[in-house]
Amino acid sequence: MVTEAVFVVTLLITFGFAVLGRKHSPKKNDVLSDHRLNKWLVGLSAGATANSGFVVTGAVGLGYLYGYKWLLLPLGWFLGDLLFWKYFPSRLNSIGRSIRASSISDVLVNGMDEKYSHRLRTVSTLMILACLCGYTTVQWLAGQKILAGAFNVSENDAVTVFAVLVIAYSSIGGFKGSVYADTFQSIIRLVGSTLALVTVAYFANQDVALFTANLDREDVDPNFLSPLGDLSLVSAFAFVCGYAFASLGFGLGQPQITTRYLAGISPEETRAAKWIYIGYVQLTWVPMTIFGMLLRGVMPDIEDPEQGFGIFFQTYFPGLIAGIVIADIFAAMASTSNSLLVTMSQSIIGSFPTMTRWLGNLRDMVLISVLGITTLVISLLVDASVVDLALTSVALLAAGLAPAVIIKAFEWQHSGLSLMVTVFSGFSVAIAWIYTGWSESVSEAAPGILSGLLVN
């Protein structure tokens, strides 16, 4: 009962922030700069949105199955984040404020003639919807994996309850409610990551001989403890560079993240969020991968490693601590799915105003509900890995949108036609890269972004 009580309290606080966000939202329009976010709201809400259910499921599972090798992924991401924050968030904020942008599509079509403006807005919105629906489905699947085991219910019941709760507070809070809720949930995530790493290390140290023996079993990857895994030095370099490109593309090509930068008080305040964001992402991602590695030596027979986080705490820490961890897991998944639903709703409203105007003041609530239910149904029908679906959705959208955003941010020469071809080229090359199988070595975001820039 204590576990459930902690979870319910967390939900009530989340809904409270959603209501507060609705109260503090601008009443007359959807212009993002009118939300005036400070550096803490920008950094923590963007970090919580970026974190996603992948961190408490996929990152844990990769560490559990393959060991040290998958610490190269957050390393590559860190390098990409450094490059991204050096040049882009403040520029995006400045552009967004000058044109009073309501979405990233407004930035892309700024300065174009009406013919190409309408086409590019439509194409970019459809691309956003396709990829973000896939990414939202990832969050529901992650919730299904974790909450079913935590509360001893069926997977379908778990994912349905989780999705309905997120859809409800997303509909209530809108964009500002999403920012407030994400910031609150980011604090829970930091507590959960620290708690996880400390406790699993404690159990690993209780019987070092058994821990070591568990890592020497035949079913453990022979390269588990190798810093590069099964990669050569050259392959590891390519792997890190590929995910550095994916990170850069993620920052530029994920509208649920860029909306936070567009909503900053000023370019200077937005730039000041750099280490808040990077620190948060690394301090939650790296510990989860290490947690998975240590968990392999503590509990070597977990059937689905992506459920390992919840299983560990349910096994060893019933009650208050388990409640905190379940609240942490919910926060990690809900913060991203909430932002995704709000962003997709904003994109539809901005690109198809005549189709949504008849909904009046309820349009964001209706659209968020429809999008949430649609992606929930998809999650009930598919059987996919959280890792594969998350990385593919992120990389494809990065390949399609990031080159165009780079061109607009640096004000490089372009035309409506060249930007249209840039978007198509980046997306198409990324898809082709996946089908060749080369994405196993280098993320498809890298060739997609490069080809888009070269085409322009």
At 159-168, the pLDDT tens digits run: 888 888 888 8
Measured CA to CA in angstroms, residue 141 lies from 53, 144, 219, 306 at distances of 9, 5, 26, 11
What is the per-residue pLDDT for 444? 84
Q: What is the largest CA-CA distance in the chain?
A: 70
Q: Is 414 exposed, middle or buried (0-12, 13-18, 19+ CB in 10 A)?
A: middle
Alpha helices in 68-154 (DSSP H): 72-87, 89-99, 104-109, 114-151
Task: Quote the pTM value.
Answer: 0.85
What is the per-residue pLDDT for 315? 83
pLDDT: is 97 or 384 the higher one? 97
What is the per-residue pLDDT for 391? 67
What is the per-residue pLDDT for 268? 95
Q: Among 129, 136, 133, which Cα is nearest to 53's?
A: 136
| Cβ count within 10 A of residue 154 | 10
What is the per-residue pLDDT for 150? 63
pLDDT tens profile 49-74: 887 777 888 899 999 999 899 999 99
Looking at the predicted structure, is the pLDDT value of residue 280 above 80?
A: yes
Rounded Cα distance between 455 and 15, Å, is 46
Q: What is the mean pLDDT of residues 260-270?
A: 93
Rounded Cα distance between 449 and 446, Å, is 5
Choice among 82-86, 87-91, 92-96, 375-379 with the minimum mean pLDDT:
375-379
Structural contact between residues 316 and 199, judged by C-beta atoms closer than 8 angstroms: yes
Choice among 167-176, 308-317, 383-392, 432-441 with the minimum mean pLDDT:
383-392
Rounded Cα distance between 138 and 19, Å, is 26
Looking at the predicted structure, is the pLDDT value of residue 386 above 60?
A: no
Percent of the chain with pLDDT over 70: 93
Question: What is the rounded radius of gyration, in angstroms, for the C-alpha atoms of the chain?
Answer: 21
Looking at the predicted structure, is the pLDDT value of residue 440 above 90?
A: no
Which two tokens mark 248? 């850069």
